[in-house]
Chains A and B, each alone.
Chain A
Amino acid sequence: AQSVTQLGSHVSVSEGALVLLRCNYSSSVPPYLFWYVQYPNQGLQLLLKYTTGATLVKGINGFEAEFKKSETSFHLTKPSAHMSDAAEYFCAVSFNDMRFGAGTRLTVKP
């Protein structure tokens, strides 16, 4: 069985500060890992994904994530938060189907 746990349902940062959203996964086979973002009243959009190869993955809008097998983690980071980053972020693990974490709501303070 595969699952993900997102640590922290709500993260608040100041504009310009580092964003760190935590995700740990459980999978019995090598996982595909994803981060999706959901803006208010909109559908889910893919930020980035890890399938194979380089463990540091760069995505859209300056986000990146690092796959750490030893820690079973896939944390999402962005060096400098922007007001437009305020949204709900979901980590997901996929083998045949995709399972999502409960989400982390990111608030960016001016």
Chain B
Amino acid sequence: DTGVSQDPRHKITKRGQNVTFRCDPISEHNRLYWYRQTLGQGPEFLTYFQNEAQLEKSRLLSDRFSAERPKGSFSTLEIQRTEQGDSAMYLCASSSEDGELFFGEGSRLTVL
């Protein structure tokens, strides 16, 4: 088991462009989470999947953000028409039923 992996690790884009991040969770975990972290802050909850079902979305997740987990395995987080305020570290985590989250190393987004 290689843990939670995220791709890409770093992404630099121009304002207005679309970006997509991928997360591969630990294989036996049925829950997958996306968080956003900015410098000096704790991770902010964005959304959560149980298998392929998206069970909860934060109000932070504007219409420009969409997440999918089509087969209940990997997940993608897409940001459309990026803004400078979207610059952050995007964290993915997975868990089994006991609730302990295992985090990936994150995807850092810089919007110029």
Q: Which residues of A pack against B, CB within 8 Å?
A: 6, 9, 32, 34, 36, 42-46, 49, 51, 90, 92, 94, 96-103
Contacts and interface: CB of A to CB of B under 8 A. Distances in A.
Q: Which of B41, B45, B91, B98 has the most CB of A within 10 A?
A: B41
A103 B42 contact: yes
A97 B42 contact: no
Given A44-B91, A97-B45, A99-B45, A49 B100 contact: yes
Given A6-B42, A51-B99, A100-B35, 17 more contacts: A9-B40, A34-B100, A42-B105, A43-B91, A43-B105, A43-B106, A44-B91, A46-B100, A92-B101, A94-B99, A96-B55, A98-B45, A98-B93, A100-B44, A100-B45, A102-B41, A103-B40
The 4 closest A-B pairs by CB, nearest first: A100-B42, A43-B105, A44-B103, A97-B48
Contacts of B100: 34, 46, 49
B42 A101 contact: yes
A52 B17 CA distance: 46
Contact of B43 (A6, A32, A49, A90): A90
A28 B103 CA distance: 26
Q: Which of B44, B102, B103, B106 has the most CB of A within 10 A?
A: B103
B74 interface: no
Contacts of A96: 48, 55-56
B44 to A, nearest CB: 8
Contacts of A99: 45
B25 interface: no
Nearest to B46: A97
Given A43-B103, A51-B99, A100 B56 contact: no
Contacts of A42: 105
Contact of B101 (A9, A51, A98, A103): A98
